[in-house]
Structure 1
Amino acid sequence: MTTERIATSDTPHATPSLLQLIWLASPALPIGGFSYSEGLEAAIDKGFVHDEHSAGQWLVDQLHLTQSRGDMAVLAQMVVAWQAKDISRLATLSQWVHATRETAELRLQSEQMGRSMLEWLRNLNAIDADTIALCNGWVPTYPLMFALALSRTGAPLDQCLQAYAFGWAENMVQAALKSVPLGQNSGQRILTQLAQEIASAVQHAMQTTDDTRQAFSPMLSILSAQHETQYSRLFRS
């Protein structure tokens, strides 16, 4: 008895869009997301976050106040611009992202994860030399590079943003587990709470325009700045 192996392509283009989104949302993506808490560790140090309830509330607030109004909104616009090959629009949006990183840690996170994302795409032969040169000519921020990856999946925009948001949620919950600290069941309850909020956050992000997109979270910026000199820490932000 013999079996025949169905020929497949190793290129990302041959991978169904759903699998590509799951891949991009995975914490195993080698871009360093696990090493950042985005101010959560500083919030724990100051006593704002200290248990499961406060950790869940903090992350839900960040989903709606910083992600949905800012990064997810600009990400949605970037995906559309990448698909249209609107270079001028991409340059403008990329500048906005870089300008809204209010502390050294947040800026370094965006740049490091962006460069790692670009390198991952290059290693997969997922982008051509012209695109690589174009990205290197800008500051390859994480939203810009993640939008490039999303734009290649062919998935609907709302599903692209859902994948991004869930990937962010998983990384942040893992940060909470390590730094509060919390147990695995607590983490799953927080992740459930976040998952229930993602759809509305995505819809808000998709309805946001250049005039309504914003990056205004002063307490988070203060905590991020304080984290730079925090005595004991596990994370880079």
Structure 2
Amino acid sequence: MHTDAQVITLSQWLSPGYPVGAFAYSHGLEALVETGAVTDADSLQDWLIDVLRYGAGLSDALFLLAAYHADAQDVGGVDALCRAFAPSKERLQETDLQGAAFCVVTAAVWAQQIAGLTYPVAVGRAASLEGLPPALTTRLYLQAFASNLVAAAQRLLPIGQTEGQRLIHGLARLVSEITDQALNGSLDDLSGTAFLADIASMKHETQYSRIFRT
């Protein structure tokens, strides 16, 4: 059972106001909009589902939980694998810089010994140090991930606030399913088959006009 204090802590860590710079990253979505692969709410929903189920959604959940359960001396190995699993320079930059920012703020406010970790590993390690529930941590992490991508899409596509919230609401069941899958899995279950999303993150590196870092 989780407590109100635990929910409040996770809500703070994973809110848009936590200074990790998540607003600057589109996870390759900007390149897909540029090529016309994602054009509206329906195609955005399809992309989000694939990224969550077959891409960084599931893999980040597995890394988060591995870091949560790892001993202090083993967290570095989980982090190294997370870095190696990034399919492109920009995706590595995305998880590296957000994780570093998360570590700086969380170490300062919660007096944790945490630094220089990729984003899901940092969240998992911090949640473990604070004794936060792993299932709730993972669900809220994935919801925040999806919410940030929807927010990025609203800057790139004619998608309004109501439609954006409808999309996030519609992903709730999938977020729970991925969380349960990750809770019952391990790093041996790592896979990444969202190939077009990975290629989009590579193409974004050389895109001429862009507003996002990835």
Question: Is TM > 0.5 for Structure 1 vs Structure 2?
Answer: yes
- What's the counterpart of residue 53 of structure 1? 42
8 Å CA contact 1:76, 1:205 repeated in 2: yes
Residues 65 and 134 of structure 2 are in contact (CA less than 8 Å); yes or no, is this contact kept in structure 1?
A: yes
Counterpart CA distance in 1 for 2:125 and 2:205 is 30
Q: Is the 8 A contact 2:50 2:194 kept in 1?
A: no
Confirm or deny: 8 A CA contact 1:36 1:109 kept in the other structure: yes
Query: Partner letter of residue 75 of structure 2?
Result: L
Cα distance in 2 between the residues matched to 1:92 and 1:196: 31
Q: In 1, distance between residues paired with 2:142 and 2:58?
A: 12
Tell me what 2:94 maps to: 109
- Aligned match for 1:224, one of 198, 201, 205: 201
Q: 2-side partners of 1:95 and 1:216: how far apart?
A: 20
Contact preservation (8 Å) 1:179, 1:234: no
1:17-52 Cα distance to aligned partner (Å, 9 max, x none): 011111122011101011101011111111111001
Q: 1:228 to 1:68 in 2, by over 3 A?
A: closer
Deviation at 1:15, TM superposition (A): 7.6
Which of the residues 47, 72, 78 maps onto 2:67? Answer: 78
The aligned amino acid for 2:168 is: L
Contact 2:139 2:179 survives alignment (8 Å): yes
Counterparts of 1:60 and 1:125, CA distance in 2: 34
1-structure distance, mates of 2:42, 2:197 = 19
Give the SS at the match of 1:50: coil
% identical aligned pairs: 30
Q: Secondary structure at the match of 1:211?
A: helix
Residues 87-128 of structure 1, C-alpha deviations (whole Å, 9 max, x = no match): 34212211110101121111111111111111101221421x
**TM-score, structure 1 length as denominator?**
0.83
Contact residue 76 and residue 147 of structure 1 kept, 8 A: yes
How many aligned residue pairs are there? 212
Superposed counterparts of 1:112-131, under 5 Å: 112-127=97-112, 131=113
Higher Rg of the two aligned structures:
1
Taking a change above 3 Å as real, the CA distance of residues 15 and 190 of structure 1, as seen in their structure-2 partners, is closer
TM-score by length of 2: 0.92
1:210 pairs with one of 187, 195, 200: 187
Say whether residues 1:163 and 2:144 are aligned partners. no
Aligned partner letter, 1:185: T
Separation (CA, whole Å) in 2 of partners of 1:90 and 1:59:
29
